[in-house]
Amino acid sequence: MARLKCRACGGEYDTDQPGGFLYFHVCPPLSRIRVTRGGVEQDVAADSVRPTDTVKVRRAGAVVDVLVSAVQPDDQRVGDSSIERPNRRDENVVVSGYDERGHPTVTIRSAGAGVDRV
């Protein structure tokens, strides 16, 4: 059993589950936050949001634009989305061919950015 860390998403997982079953890691989608920056609307990662960005939030039943630094506790941000993570890892097996005896040979669907052993 090994504990691995995915380079694409940063997630950590054990290759073997309790009971000896295999686990097949798949990177989660990439969350995007809709901000307005310099007058331009764009989607950015959560760790790229700046205090001077403007986001749309639902406040008192209405959708309003507020500075990130001025968001209140009960504001609910709108416009968030998710996209498939670039260079994502998907360890689910696919049949890549057949050997000389007709038995399937398998590979993982996508190695992505690779993994590091933790």
Partner 1 sequence: MVPSSQSAMDPAAAAAYARTLGAPGAFYMTGEDALQISGWNITSAARLRASGRFLGCDGVIRSFEHDLPLTTDRVIASLTRQLGEGWLLNLTVRVTGATSVYGQTVARAQVVRGLETSGIVLATLCHGAVTSMQPIAFPNGRVLSMVEGPGAVRSVTGTDPAAGVEISETVPTGARWRLLSVSFALVTDATVATRIPAVVVDDGTNTYSRTDGGVGQTASLTRIFTAAGGGMFATNVGGQHHIPFSNRLLLLAGHRVRTVTSNLQAGDNYGAPQLLVEEWIEGA
| Residue 29 or 114 with smaller CB distance to partner 1 | 29
d(CA 75, CA 53): 15
Chain centroid offset of residue 75 CA:
24
Looking at 34-42, 59-67, 69-77, which segment touches partner 1 (CB under 8 A)? Answer: 69-77
- As beta bridge partners, residue 63 has 58
d(CA 9, CA 25): 11
Looking at 25-33, 35-43, 59-67, which segment touches partner 1 (CB under 8 A)? Answer: 25-33
Which one among 38, 39, 61, 102 touches partner 1, defined by CB under 8 A? 102
- As beta bridge partners, residue 75 has none
| Residue 41 or 106 with smaller CB distance to partner 1 | 106
Which one among 63, 106, 114, 116 touches partner 1, defined by CB under 8 A? 106
| Residue 43 or 90 with smaller CB distance to partner 1 | 90
d(CA 31, CA 53): 17
d(CA 21, CA 92): 14
- CA torsion sign for 46, 50, 53, 57 is positive
**Does the protein bind partner 1 through residue 43 (CB under 8 A)?**
no
* Binding stretches for partner 1 (CB under 8 A): 6, 9-14, 16-29, 31, 45-47, 49, 71-77, 80, 82, 90, 92-95, 98, 101-104, 106
